[in-house]
Structures are given as structure tokens and as C-alpha cells.
Amino acid sequence: MKNEMWKAYARGMAAAMNSGSVAVPAGLLRAYRGIGLSDTEMMLMMQLMLFRQVEGIDFPTPEQLADRLGILPKAAHGLLGRLMKEGLLAIDGEVDAVSGIAVERYNWTGFIIRSAEWLADEAKRSLELERETQPERYAAMDADVADGADWVRPADLFTAFEQEFGRPLSPMECETISAWVDQDRYPDELIRFALKEAVFAGKLHFRYIDRILIEWSRNRVTNTDEAKAHTQKFRNGRG
């Protein structure tokens, strides 16, 4: 009877775990080792996200974190201190509008920005390596891009977007571009052409560019020649 009771309890816990989750940007998981975080430090950051997103606790104590990580409170103090010294973690203070009580919360924007910068550098290094190993392919792509006098090929995708938007990209925007490349597997040239189309349409925002890429994917558009033909067909049909 006891075994059945604990099995039922385990099933309930499993259902609860399936119903709740923590949103951790994929880019953070890809970049954390590149920016110098250990596995324990990354787990600490994820626990901070868990406390806020699921449990509504913005400022867990080192003792609470230590209990989750299976380390001593002194070690948790040390990890928090190093992350703050590196600019990856900060503490924000504010006064609650209702109670008037001063409250504190952890802020990991520094971690997100540093990760985005690392991902941008990694994308740039990857592109430079591709250019060295596939010179013929990139020579053809450069020639294709050169057909438009106002369209100069920047060094990498992030630079291309920053030039057209006229400002630095946010961490979320960098993550979107990375997802187009890593998850959706859109070719570099196709993303650039979608950006060009957004500029042409006067709708320079990521949601519109994403819709363009989804539309092309549905219609099995895989390169700029096919994209040009599809776009022209759409414009002719609308006109």
C-alpha cells in the first residue's frame, strides 16, 4: 500500500514538473562556457531564474541557493561575488509602491549582453573560416550581392542588421538571428535578402523579417534567386 502511495506521489510530482518550466535562452546555454562560467556558476544563474519565474522570489538568499546547488553557503557567497565582480550579475534596489518597503532583486542583464557579444564573435569567426575554406561560394555570393549598388555586404549578419537598423542590437535580437541560423537553418544569404526586403518595404522590424523567412520556408525557397522569383511573383500578383 505504501509503495502504491509513493508511486502516486511520484506521478503527481512528474505531472507538476511537466506543467512548470523555466525559460532559459538557448544562447546562454551555448555561450556560458565561452565567457568563462563554470557549470556550477551556470546552474546558479538558472536557479536564480527558477526562483523568479516559478516561485516569485527575486532575491533568494545564499543559503537557499546553496541548498539547491548542494554546496556550502560560504561557497554560494563566493560564486555570487565573482559573478558580480565580472559584471555578469548585479543587485537592483527599489521601493515597493504599495508597502513602501525597500526590496532587492538580482539582475542578470550583464550575463545576457556578454553572451550575445560572445555569440556575435563566434558567428564572425565561423563566417571568416567559411570564407577561407569555401572561397568560390562566397565569391559568387558577393557578386550576387553586388548587383544592388545600395547593398554592401557587411562582415557578418549582426553587423548587417546593426547597419540597417542604425543602432546596436539588443540581446533578444541577437538571439533571434542566432535562432534563424542554428535552429531554423536559414542560409546566411537568405537572411540578408529578407533584411533587404524589409528595408525595401519600409517595415524594418524583426517580426516582419521573420514572417518573410517563414513564408519562403513554406514555399521551399532556399536561395536568393528563388527568393527574388517568389517575391516578384507575389508583387505581380498583388499588382
User: SS3 string of the chain?
Assistant: CHHHHHHHHHHHHHHHHHHCCCCCCHHHHHHCCCCCCCHHHHHHHHHHHHHHHCCCCCCCCHHHHHHHHCCCHHHHHHHHHHHHHCCCCEEEEEECCCCCCEEEEEECHHHHHHHHHHHHHHHHHHHHHHHHHCHHHHHHHHHHHCCCCCCCCCCCHHHHHHHHHCCCCCHHHHHHHHHHHHCCCCCHHHHHHHHHHHHHHCCCCHHHHHHHHHHHHHCCCCCHHHHHHHHHHHHHHHC
Instruction: Say what the pLDDT of residue 154 is.
Output: 43
Mean pLDDT over each residue of the chain, to the nearest integer: 82
Closest CA to 224 of 189, 181, 186: 189
Highest mean pLDDT among 88-92, 100-104, 203-207, 228-232: 88-92
pLDDT confidence band for 11 (50 / 70 / 90): low
User: Within its chain, how far is the Cα of 36 from the centroid?
Assistant: 18
pLDDT confidence band for 235 (50 / 70 / 90): low
Instruction: Say what the pLDDT of residue 211 is.
Output: 92
* DSSP string for 165-201: HTSPPPHHHHHHHHHHHHTS---HHHHHHHHHHHHHH
* Segments of the chain assigned to CATH 1.10.10.10: 2-111
Q: From CA 87, how far away is CA 85, in angstroms rounded?
A: 5
The pLDDT tens digits for 32-53 are 999 999 999 999 999 999 999 8
Q: Is 2-111 a CATH 3.30.70.330 domain?
A: no
pLDDT confidence band for 147 (50 / 70 / 90): low
More confident residue, 238 or 67: 67
Question: Which DSSP helix (H) or strand (E) runs through 94?
Answer: strand 90-95
The pLDDT tens digits for 211-220 are 999 999 998 9
Highest mean pLDDT among 17-21, 29-33, 40-44, 114-118: 40-44
Q: From CA 85, how far away is CA 106, in angstroms rounded?
A: 14
User: What mean pLDDT do residues 118-145 have?
Assistant: 70
What's the CATH number for 135-238?
Answer: 1.10.10.630
Residue 14 pLDDT greater than 80, yes or no: no
The pLDDT tens digits for 57-77 are 999 999 999 999 999 999 999
Give the chain's radius of gyration (CA, Å): 24
Residue at grid coordinates 532575491: 59
User: What mean pLDDT do residues 202-225 have?
Assistant: 90
The pLDDT tens digits for 148-158 are 434 444 447 88
Q: pTM higher than 0.75 for the full model?
A: no
Closest CA to 32 of 105, 110, 90: 110
* Segments of the chain assigned to CATH 1.10.10.630: 135-238
User: What mean pLDDT do residues 76-95 have?
Assistant: 94
